[in-house]
């Protein structure tokens, strides 16, 4: 593809040789003859510092936001935004052939996106999905490194969806992706909002920055579907041109309202009230399943899907790996894996389990390293106040000392009398929890969810909690 085609629609200064471009990269380690190198300013490395070197290495041109006065330099206002537009051009703008549905919020994005995909597929639609667990082109799965991938990978996935004749792409849109311009230039048919609670302040630094990052999705959405029970919802869309559709459980002042909610071990039931009334049966337990399914239903109905078809599709929906996932154990207690790794997420899952628990709730959890440390004591307090027993352990400590992270968690548990055990090694902690489980207990393993690895100071190791559970049960059976 010619450089002029790749720069189409981009506002820039500078002159260049209109040569054939072999690739588009922002990683200096991937530069090869004839490629276009985009200089991105990161937290640890600034691509501008190697721009001249990249030209000598064979790059046909460089894109900068700081003027370097180099030959074949394309000067733009923001290289992150430019990179997104350049990648879209490089893949012939596949997103223009898709109806994009973006979901943002602190919690609930993954389950809601899967529910929307399943509703659309029940109606015979071909759907792609971008999210935390995996990327999907219809049923073809691709590994997910980030919730919302970098622009080049995102556009590649869009192109695969177009090749597979997908009509829709449902995607989780993270706050980091919005702040970094990974979805710049995209237009969303619908932008959906789940909720906003404390998370990712290690990256955004302030609540205001976090809020403004989320708002960006709705600046580029034709319609916003928002949770009217969340205090941030209407502020997110205030002053924007998009159409606003709302859903709620705790107020009648919304377009779609869940009434007469019934919580069961096998799921939730409620009346969906709008211009008509119907009974929703979602086979995923917990209060947050009301919100997730209500959001999914609101999106589907906003797309014009028949009311009865939406209700039927939700009743057939399946769970998502690592989201309130019940692990088969053939024991007199229940083991559940959930991705909850924020204060609100942990509180929601434990409260939801309390609705169905007949015995103790034993919460095994930790907090991630190199992430917002202020939420650690908060999560410790929440777990202690809402659980009957806690096992405090490691999550992904990354470069931090796991014991230091645990000490931060324990600060929040000081004034709560709930019994607890501290076991730094997560594998040993899971073995302990199962060995000491009592009849009718719910053992909640929180934080890892779908992940099959653990990031330690020494490096990343394979760690699938399902395998650890199976190993622990085999060991316990051997002792009996």
Residue 114's pLDDT is what? 95
For residue 480, pLDDT over 80 is answered with no
- 261 pLDDT band, cuts 50/70/90, is very high
Residue 256's pLDDT is what? 98
Q: Of 208, 177, 163, which is closest to residue 102 (Cα–Cα)? A: 177
In angstroms, the Cα distances linking 160 to 121, 128, 186, 302 are 18, 9, 17, 26
DSSP letter for 252, please.
S
Q: What's the whole-model pTM score?
A: 0.81
For residue 314, pLDDT over 90 is answered with yes
Residue 107's pLDDT is what? 85
Over residues 237-261, the mean pLDDT reads 97
Residue 198's pLDDT is what? 53
- 250 pLDDT band, cuts 50/70/90, is very high
**Residue 73 in contact with residue 64, Cβ under 8 Å?**
yes
Question: CA 173, CA 104: separation in Å to the nearest integer?
Answer: 5
Pick the CATH number of 94-315 from 3.40.1670.10, 3.40.1190.10, 1.10.10.10, 3.30.460.80: 3.40.1190.10
First to last CA, the chain: 67
Domain 3-90 sits in CATH 3.40.1390.10: yes
Q: Which two tokens stand for residue 146?
A: 């980030």
Q: Of 196, 190, 194, 230, which is closest to residue 212 (Cα–Cα)? A: 196
**What is the tens place of the pLDDT at every residue in 353-392?**
887 888 999 999 999 999 999 999 999 999 999 999 999 9
- Considering only residues 38 and 265, tell me which one the structure prediction assigns the higher pLDDT: 38
Q: What percent of the chain has pLDDT over 70?
A: 98
Question: CA 348, CA 410: separation in Å to the nearest integer?
Answer: 20
**Residue 87, C-beta contacts closer than 8 angstroms, at least 6 positions apart:** 24, 151, 152, 154, 155
What are the residue boundaries of the structural domains of the chain, listed by start?
Answer: 3-90, 94-315, 325-479
Question: CA 398, CA 456: separation in Å to the nearest integer?
Answer: 5
Q: Of 439, 247, 237, 442, which is closest to residue 334 (Cα–Cα)? A: 442
**What is the tens place of the pLDDT at every residue in 125-155?**
999 999 988 999 999 999 888 889 999 999 9
**Residue 371, C-beta contacts closer than 8 angstroms, at least 6 positions apart:** 200, 202, 398
Of 143-152, 191-200, 471-480, minimum mean pLDDT range: 191-200
Residue 208's pLDDT is what? 80
Residue 345's pLDDT is what? 87
Is there a common fold for 94-315 and 325-479?
no
For residue 203, pLDDT over 70 is answered with no
For residue 201, pLDDT over 60 is answered with no
The strands making up 221-227's β-sheet, listed across from edge to edge, are 140-143, 134-137, 127-130, 168-172, 99-104, 188-193, 221-227, 243-248, 256-264, 267-273, 277-282
What is the distance, to the nearest Å, from the Cα of residue 479 to the centroid of all Cα atoms in its chain? 40
Domain 325-479 sits in CATH 3.90.190.20: yes
Residue 38's pLDDT is what? 98
Q: Of 320, 262, 302, which is closest to residue 111 (Cα–Cα)? A: 320
**What is the tens place of the pLDDT at every residue in 34-58?**
999 999 998 889 999 999 999 999 9
Q: Which two tokens stand for residue 5?
A: 């085609």
Over residues 23-28, the mean pLDDT reads 97
**What is the tens place of the pLDDT at every residue in 76-133?**
999 999 999 999 999 999 999 999 999 999 888 999 999 999 999 999 999 999 998 8
Question: Whose structure tokens read 């709730």?
Answer: 361
Mean pLDDT rounded to a whole number for the chain: 94
For residue 232, pLDDT over 70 is answered with yes
Q: Which two tokens stand for residue 249?
A: 């459980």
For 168-213, the DSSP string reads: EEEEE--HHHHHTTTTTT--EEEEEE----S--HHHH-SHHHHHHH
């Amino acid at each position: 593809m010619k450089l002029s085609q790749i720069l189409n629609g981009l506002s820039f200064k500078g002159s260049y040789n209109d040569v054939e471009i072999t690739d588009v990269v922002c990683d200096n380690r991937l530069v090869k003859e004839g490629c276009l190198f985009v200089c991105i300013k990161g937290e640890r490395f600034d691509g501008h510092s190697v721009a001249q070197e990249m030209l000598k290495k064979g790059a046909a041109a460089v894109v900068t936001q700081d003027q370097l006065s180099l030959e074949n330099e394309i000067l733009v206002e923001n290289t992150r935004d430019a990179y997104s537009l350049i990648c879209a051009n490089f893949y012939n703008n596949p997103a223009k052939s898709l109806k994009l549905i973006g979901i943002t919020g602190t919690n609930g994005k993954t389950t809601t996106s899967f529910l929307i995909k399943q509703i659309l597929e029940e109606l015979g639609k071909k759907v792609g999905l971008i999210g935390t667990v995996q990327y999907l082109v219809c049923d073809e799965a691709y590994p997910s490194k980030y919730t919302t991938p970098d622009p080049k990978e995102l556009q590649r996935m869009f192109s695969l969806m177009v090749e597979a004749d997908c009509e829709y792409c449902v995607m989780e849109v993270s706050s980091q992706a919005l702040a970094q311009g990974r979805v710049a230039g995209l237009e969303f048919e619908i932008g959906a909002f789940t909720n906003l609670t404390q998370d990712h302040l290690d990256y955004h630094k302030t609540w205001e920055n976090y809020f403004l990052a989320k708002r960006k999705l709705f600046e580029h959405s034709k319609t916003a579907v928002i949770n009217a029970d969340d205090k941030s919802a209407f502020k997110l869309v205030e002053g924007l041109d998009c159409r606003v559709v709302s859903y709620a459980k705790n107020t009648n002042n919304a377009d779609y309202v869940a009434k007469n909610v019934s919580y069961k071990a096998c799921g939730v039931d409620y009346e969906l009230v709008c211009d008509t009334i119907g009974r929703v049966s979602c086979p995923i337990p917990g209060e947050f399943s009301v919100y997730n399914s209500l959001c999914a239903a609101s999106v589907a109905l906003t797309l014009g899907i028949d009311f009865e078809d939406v209700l039927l599709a939700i009743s057939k929906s399946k769970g998502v790996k690592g989201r309130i996932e019940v692990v088969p154990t053939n024991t007199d207690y229940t083991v559940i894996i959930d991705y909850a790794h924020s204060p609100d997420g942990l509180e929601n899952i434990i409260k939801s389990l309390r609705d169905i628990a007949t015995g103790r709730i034993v919460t095994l959890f930790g907090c991630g390293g190199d992430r917002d440390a202020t939420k650690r004591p908060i999560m410790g307090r929440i777990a202690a106040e809402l659980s009957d027993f806690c096992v405090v352990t490691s999550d992904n400590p990354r470069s931090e000392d796991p014991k230091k992270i645990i000490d931060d968690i324990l600060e929040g548990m000081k004034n709560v009398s709930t019994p607890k055990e501290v076991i730094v090694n997560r594998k040993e902690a899971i073995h302990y929890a199962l060995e000491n489980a009592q009849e009718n207990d719910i053992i909640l393993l929180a934080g890892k969810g779908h992940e099959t690895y653990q990031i330690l100071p020494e490096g990343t190791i394979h760690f699938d909690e399902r395998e650890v559970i199976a190993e622990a049960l085999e060991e316990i059976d051997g002792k009996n």
